[in-house]
Chains A and B, each alone.
Chain A
């Protein structure tokens, strides 16, 4: 089919993950997180997205040999 959809999915969520986790680290302890009940949701969820993106990228490499 030419394009393996797992590649753009992996890339996009990988980028989102890096952005959120990076932003979460930079804003750690800030008042922002009163909204999210004290959790640094950007850091946590950024890592989750990064892991998801990584799995997708790995699958696309494995599948597209």
Chain B
């Protein structure tokens, strides 16, 4: 059992002030939300730095904070691959190369881009799977928050769930996407400033960076790895057996760095929506580039605490992670346990508020993406085609209410049927894995057709399922982890992560090849004129030639990439 946290009066005061500010921002914005575009896209009025921080914060949900800290303890600094390989290049790519089409086409959502570029069925497939997925992610996020509050503070699960849902509902209902984005910026600063003292105190406790590295050698050798396995990100990537992740560099770079990362950062409407809300093409292109800079530094805020936690736990030096029922360390408790251990009342309230902020920003990101896709891509496209704008605005608000209620329902479902959640997440992973192939071909090859895109996506999804069914991670039982199509499985991976990366690689490759093959044998239904602004070769480059090179998106992207390479080299 984790150590409980006793909150003092000052901690409650901080928490309440935060809630008041969050609601106050929604209240202040209520009058500016007059049209559906105000509600769903902030009237395309957001400056680049705000959109950039929101772009980052929307992704900074529960999975990110808790999961990446846990991975820091489990795998060490190699977890940074999820940032320096698995995020930064894709963020630069979406800003420099893809944003001209997303923003320039005036599409109001990612599925709508697919409709403009390909056809109705491709849009429908993407819109419906995305809408269901966001409701479930938001529900799982709420479930995790309420469970954590119950565990740490003894708060009632139901009250925690409904109160956090009501707050998110209130501020999105009032101010739409602008309200969500503004709160995401507030949450971003809160998360950084709330967790930073944890890193300082933890590092001091462990004896600085050198003390941390020395103690991690003990962790590594006890696990049967080379001494540097926890403090080097690449040195042990030569073979899956040499590192605790159980992956080799090729699967990691291609599966995580290319397929999964580009699939998420470049096509997931949850993040892309923030850039679409920017006030100009120039701002939209800079949104992911601005986000990339803090993203690059997050490993120090999120992964390092995990490394400190496992180092101290292993050394028996005061701090210890709690154990689970089966006797293994409960890695998901890294952040809550460190908050309880190091923070006295006062900063404790700040840290806890930051934790709640991260849950709420993840939840709000899902809800705003859901209400937009539902209203524009499902309601307006299939249910009521001639809806007036005022009607759409009303539908958007109702959808927000419905989406939050559905998320709460999902959260309760998660308390009863954890297996269903695992199963659904697996299905979503199959649907998402091939997506980037469709976008890449759609944006850079004008010959790609609607039939090609749709069937490519379907086949890619099936390929992901088939690969999962034919393989199994070492030591896992047949079933939700794989192996359900062939006994014995055709291939055994050394870890679940390796299997995931390779599932993505297969799905992407099948979708890519199938889209090309089917496009070549089907007729184009869109003329060059139809595709202007949607495909690279038919779109004039956005010019910003009055700027010095380092202020252009290309120059900024190059600098961001250079910094990411530098970090990889330093922590090699």
Report how far A49 CA is from B17 CA in the complex, Å. 15
Q: Is A29 an interface residue (CB 8 A)?
A: no
A12 and B18 form a contact (CB under 8 A) = yes
Contact B17 A16 (CB under 8 A): yes
Q: Evaluate contact between B344 and A5: CB separation under 8 angstroms.
A: no
Known contacts A8-B24, A15-B17, A24 near B186 by CB under 8 Å: no
Nearest-CB residue, chain A, relative to B189? A9
Of A2, A9, A45, A48, the residue contacting B185 (CB under 8 A) is A9
**Is B14's beta carbon under 8 Å from chain A?**
yes
B250 touches A (CB below 8 Å):
no
Give the residues in chain B near A52, CB-CB below 8 Å.
189, 193
Tell me if A57 counts as interface (CB < 8 A to partner B).
no
Please name the residue on chain A nearest to B192 by beta carbon: A52
Contact of B28 among A2, A20, A23 (CB under 8 A): A2
Mask: chain B, 158-182; 1 = CB below 8 Å from A; 0 = not: 0000000000000000000010001
Whether B344 and A32, one on each chain, are in contact in the complex, defined by CB atoms closer than 8 angstroms, is yes
The residue from B14, B21, B46, B341 contacting A8, defined by CB atoms under 8 A apart = B21
Partner of A41 from B193, B201, B205 at Cβ < 8 Å: B201
Asked if B32 and A1 sit within 8 Å, CB to CB, the answer is: yes
- Which residue in B18, B50, B346 is a CB contact (below 8 Å) of A20? B346
Determine which residue in A5, A24, A35, A48 has the highest number of CB atoms from chain B within 10 A of its CB, and name it. A5
How far apart are B48's CB and chain A's nearest CB, in angstroms?
A: 13
Whether the pair A19, B14 counts as a contact (CB closer than 8 A) is yes
B21-A33 in contact (CB<8A):
no
The 8 Å CB contact of B10, one of A3, A8, A23, is A23
- Is there a chain A Cβ closer than 8 Å to B25's Cβ? yes
Q: From residue 5 to 35 of chain A, which have CB atoms closer than 8 A to chain B?
A: 5, 8-9, 11-13, 15-16, 19-20, 23-24, 27, 32-33, 35
Q: Which residues of B contact A9 (CB under 8 A)?
A: 185-186, 189
CA distance A35 to B338 in the complex (A): 10
Q: Is the CB of A37 within 8 A of B204?
A: yes
Find out whether the CB atom of A12 lies under 8 angstroms from the CB atom of B201: no
**Cβ-defined contact, B201 with A39, below 8 A:** yes
B441 within 8 Å of A by Cβ? no
Which A residues are closer than 8 A to B by beta carbons?
1-3, 5, 8-9, 11-13, 15-16, 19-20, 23-24, 27, 32-33, 35-37, 39, 41-42, 45-46, 48-49, 52
Across chains A and B, which 4 residue pairs bring their CB atoms closest together, nearest first? A42-B346, A32-B344, A12-B21, A5-B182
